[in-house]
Structure 1
Amino acid sequence: MPAAYVFDAELWEWPARASWFFVSVPEPISDEIDARTHGLTPGFGSVRVTVRVGGSAWATSVFPDTTRGCFVLPIKKAVRDAEGIAPGDSVRIHLDLADARP
């Protein structure tokens, strides 16, 4: 199983916090991430990752979202500005797990 994933996802704004923006990691990839990192994550299940969107790369974490049934990936303002992306846009995500079982 690879520790690197590429997928397209729509950028959305978290309704409870208007300044936070995320993409949802597709369920099959979320399920694989959960299986590969189970027991390696801190209390609430965040998973350290490195991400690339266009020419922007950074380290962050994905977080489990029980409402959506998947992990969610925060996209910071500097990346949104640099890449010209806004809520509703489809974004190509390159995601690598920092800690995972083979």
Structure 2
Amino acid sequence: MEWTFSADVFAWGEDGPSWRFLRLPLDVADEVRDLAGEPAGFGSVRVHARIGQTVFATSVFPEKASGSYLLPVKKSVREREGIDDGDRVTVRLDVAS
């Protein structure tokens, strides 16, 4: 199953280099959770993501505050696609098998 959605890039962390994430829409997060079944590790789910022309493998991580998942956006992806904090990007996402 594949989802396409748009979300804003945001920084997490105040000191030193910060991580950059996108928050999955709740309806997508619910479907990912249902499809993934029993959570691994910290509840992370392995996924494949595409932003622009860049495809990458990573994991989404549960965020208690929102009830959604956070998708980390690697520095190499941000640089290749010209993404800055606050940018709204379109993502294609599927759960890795």
Q: Given the two structures, how large is their TM-score scaled by the length of structure 1?
A: 0.88
Encode CA deviations 1:32-58: one digit per residue, 9 max, x unaligned. 11111121x313110010111001111
Partner Cα distance (2:57, 2:35) in 1: 19
Gaps of 5+ in 2: none
Shift of 1:68: 2.1
Give the structure with the larger strand fraction: 2
Pairing of 1:6-17 with structure 2 (within 5 A): 6-16=4-14
Shift of 1:62: 0.4
Give the aligned partner of residue 24 of structure 1. Answer: 23
Pairing of 1:52-63 with structure 2 (within 5 A): 52-63=50-61
Q: Given the two structures, how large is their TM-score scaled by the length of structure 2?
A: 0.92
Encode CA deviations 1:54-87: one digit per residue, 9 max, x unaligned. 0111100000010122000000000101100111
Q: Counterpart amino acid of 1:34?
A: R
Q: Counterpart amino acid of 2:34?
A: A
Partner Cα distance (2:53, 2:41) in 1: 32
Q: What is the count of residue pairs matched by the alignment?
A: 96
Give the aligned partner of residue 65 of structure 2. Answer: 67
Gaps of 5+ in 1: none
Identity percentage of aligned residues: 42
